[in-house]
């Protein structure tokens, strides 16, 4: 009698396992597709320059800025310029909503390896502290230089003359070709002094 009970229990367990295995073979219902992440960099083709490596550097640099990691951001900069420190970066740049490139201009001076970049940086007010200075006006227009250093493109801060020059180009470009196509003036000279912090306005 006990032997028959053991056989019945074993048979029941075997049937239960078989049912579970058959259930595991059934495909799970299709989960709703996750929405594609919104591209947080706007860099239209009409603003790109003839030098593809510069365009790629701008894309990589801006995506690094919106990525929110300080060390890759720090490595973007020329050795002649000290980027913002980690505390400043984390306070501002980790809440970026979008970066829109407004102008990319090559210095037309013969032999020059400099470009001037203007971009709007839009921050997400909801991710900023209640008393943060960017909550009321979350858009910052920045001007930076792109320079060649040790066979690599690097970011450099722009002096006040450079900022004023390029912002004027951006303000005047409505109804005109982009500055990268019609620039006729050389980019003003720049030195590490009087250079713009990346979160300062124009």
What was the pLDDT predicted at 143?
96
Within its chain, how far is the Cα of 192 from the centroid? 24
Place of tokens 């809440």: 95
What was the pLDDT predicted at 105?
94
**Domains and their CATH numbers in the chain:** 41-182 (3.10.450.50)
**Euclidean distance between CA atoms 140 and 84, whole angstroms:** 16
Structure token digits, residue 182: 């019609």
What was the pLDDT predicted at 174?
52
Q: In this structure, are residues 48 and 124 in contact, taking their beta carbons and an 8 Å threshold?
A: no
**Euclidean distance between CA atoms 178 and 46, whole angstroms:** 7
What was the pLDDT predicted at 175?
53
Query: Residue ranges of the chain with pLDDT lower than 70?
Result: 1-39, 110, 174-202
Q: In this structure, are residues 54 and 47 in contact, taking their beta carbons and an 8 Å threshold?
A: no
What was the pLDDT predicted at 166?
93
Residue 105: strand pairing partners: 116
What was the pLDDT predicted at 57?
97
Provide the whole-model pTM: 0.67
């Amino acid at each position: 009698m006990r032997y028959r009970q053991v056989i019945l229990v074993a048979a029941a367990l075997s049937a239960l396992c078989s049912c579970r295995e058959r259930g595991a073979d059934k495909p799970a219902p299709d989960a709703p597709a996750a929405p594609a992440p919104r591209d947080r960099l706007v860099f239209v083709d009409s603003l790109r320059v003839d030098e593809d490596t510069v365009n790629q550097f701008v894309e990589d640099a801006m995506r690094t800025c919106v990525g929110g990691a300080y060390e890759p951001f720090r490595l973007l900069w020329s050795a002649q310029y000290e980027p913002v420190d980690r505390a400043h970066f984390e306070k501002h740049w980790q809440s970026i909503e979008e970066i829109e490139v407004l102008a990319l201009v090559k210095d037309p001076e013969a032999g020059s390896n400099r470009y001037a970049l203007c971009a709007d940086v839009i921050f997400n007010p909801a991710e900023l502290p209640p008393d943060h200075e960017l909550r009321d006006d979350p858009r910052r227009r920045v001007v930076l230089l792109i320079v060649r250093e040790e066979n690599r493109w690097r970011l450099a801060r722009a002096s006040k003359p450079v900022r004023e020059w390029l912002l004027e180009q951006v303000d005047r470009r409505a109804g005109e070709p982009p500055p990268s196509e019609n620039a006729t003036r050389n980019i003003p000279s720049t030195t590490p002094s009087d250079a713009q912090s990346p979160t300062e306005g124009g």
